[in-house]
Chain A
Amino acid sequence: MTPKGVSLNPNSRKTKFARRFIFALSRMRNPIPVSSSIEEEVRTRSHKIKIAAYLSMARAVGSRRAWSRALLFKLRTRARRHNMIIRRRSFRLKKKRIIKNDPQGEPSQTKKLRQLVPGGKTMDMCSLLEETAHYMTCLATQVKVMQTIADHFAK
């Protein structure tokens, strides 16, 4: 079965992402049998796959971009908190910290955009637009690769 005729550059972002993601997927194949129902297992695995996808893409991009740094930071703190299982009130209070942005006549959609792009809350307008463009192309690549993998599995 010949692939879709595209020869990939071995150093491209797409290839780096694909390698990391497939490796993460292969590590998920032999799960520790949890004593929960099948649906819950599927759901937790789906969540793990989603996190692995974002993590692989952020790692493939590296720390060159503000959004990938912010995403890596967010995922690592989340993983650390999950592993430590410390429920302290201080964590919850810290989450509610509001970073006030001077409106400065920014269009209203900027606020929504800042919530969608990782790290967008503290960027100035210029960086926000640049990071958005890069983030969008990486997301599209991520979706394409995941689609290819899903199609292959389905054959």
Chain B
Amino acid sequence: MSSRRSRSRQQSGVSSNITDEQITDLVSKLQQLIPEIRNRRSNKVSASKVLQETCNYIRSLHREVDDLSDRLSDLLATTDTDSAQAAIIRSLLM
């Protein structure tokens, strides 16, 4: 137990039970979620690379949300109301 604690970072007065193994577990879980790393099929991705790719992925998702909102705003102006809405709801929720 003490060896694990000396390996992990200095916790300045905050007693937290975070171990290195927990963190590596979580990092590998994140690794599985990121499309680029998942498709590359290499198991030797460093933690910093995973974090970097996570940041890039989240940023690209934010950008996609922005683009889609622009698109939806344009489309809302030009379609007629109830028929399209009913069709969407039916197909999405049925």
Contact, CB under 8 Å: B91 / A46:
no
Chain A, interface size category, equals 35 or more
Q: Is B9 an interface residue (CB 8 A)?
A: yes
Q: How far is the CA of A87 from the CA of B79 in the complex (A)?
A: 38
Q: Is B1 an interface residue (CB 8 A)?
A: no
Chain B, interface size category, equals 35 or more
Residues of B within 8 A of A126 (CB): 18, 22-23, 26
Contact, CB under 8 Å: A142 / B65:
yes
8 A Cβ contacts from B15-60 to A: 16, 18, 22-23, 26-27, 29-30, 33-34, 47-48, 51-52, 54-55, 57-59
Q: Tell me which of B9, B55, B79, B92 contacts A113 (CB under 8 A).
A: B55
Q: How far is the CA of A135 from the CA of B65 in the complex (A)?
A: 14
Residues of B within 8 A of A129 (CB): 23, 26-27, 29-30
8 sample A-B contacts, Cβ–Cβ < 8 Å, listed by A number: A42-B73, A46-B70, A50-B66, A108-B48, A130-B26, A136-B58, A150-B71, A150-B75
Q: How far is the CA of A47 from the CA of B76 in the complex (A)?
A: 13
Q: How far is the CA of A145 from the CA of B73 in the complex (A)?
A: 15
